[in-house]
Amino acid sequence: MTALIDLPARVLSRGPDATMALAEELVSVLRPGDVLVLSGGIGAGKTVFAKGVARALGIGADAVTSPTFPLHNIYEGTLTLNHFDFYRLRSEQEARDLGVDELADGQALTLIEWGDRFPAVVRPPYLHVDLELGETDDERWVSVRRV
């Protein structure tokens, strides 16, 4: 917990449950309106992390999948969760058209998978959560920094 509050942090997750638990810890220090940009390759664990965020908000984690169509999912929990995925977008303009900023401007939490693809579209301040593969199939390095 303190490791995450003292950002930047780099934590080794040893499995999907641990990644979800890390996400839940992070949510405990977030405030309404906060934005999370998630990066990492295919299968890095961004959606697993999103499920942990959802669980922390009392949203059933099973409901959460990578938003493909529509590109934006909205879940209602103790806070509203805006869940975007920039993977399929072809241009920065398409990303702008999703209206991330307007949505991030309220009482909701916003989470953007592949949000690093069009960083100019996401207005700081936000938290950048990067997931990278570790040495074993179940290991992921989870880094969190403020932008």
Ligand X SMILES: Nc1ncnc2c1ncn2[C@@H]1O[C@H](COP(=O)(O)OP(=O)(O)OP(=O)(O)O)[C@@H](O)[C@H]1O
**Min CB(32)–Mg ion separation in Å:** 24
39 forms part of the interface with ligand X (CB under 6 A): no
DSSP assignment of 81-106 = EEEEE-TT--SHHHHHHTTHHHHHTS
Angstrom CA distances, 128 to 69, 70, 143, stand at: 24, 23, 8
55 forms part of the interface with ligand X (CB under 6 A): no
What's the number of CA atoms in the CB half-sphere (13 Å) around residue 67? Answer: 21
118 secondary structure, DSSP code: S
**Min CB(116)–ligand X separation in Å:** 12
66 forms part of the interface with Mg ion (CB under 5 A): yes
Task: Tell me which residues in 99-128 interact with ligand X (CB under 6 A).
Answer: 113
Contact window for ligand X (CB under 6 A) among 56-64, 103-111, 120-128, 134-142: 134-142
Q: Which residues contact ligand X (rule: CB under 6 A)?
A: 13, 15-16, 18-19, 40, 42-48, 66, 87, 113, 138-140
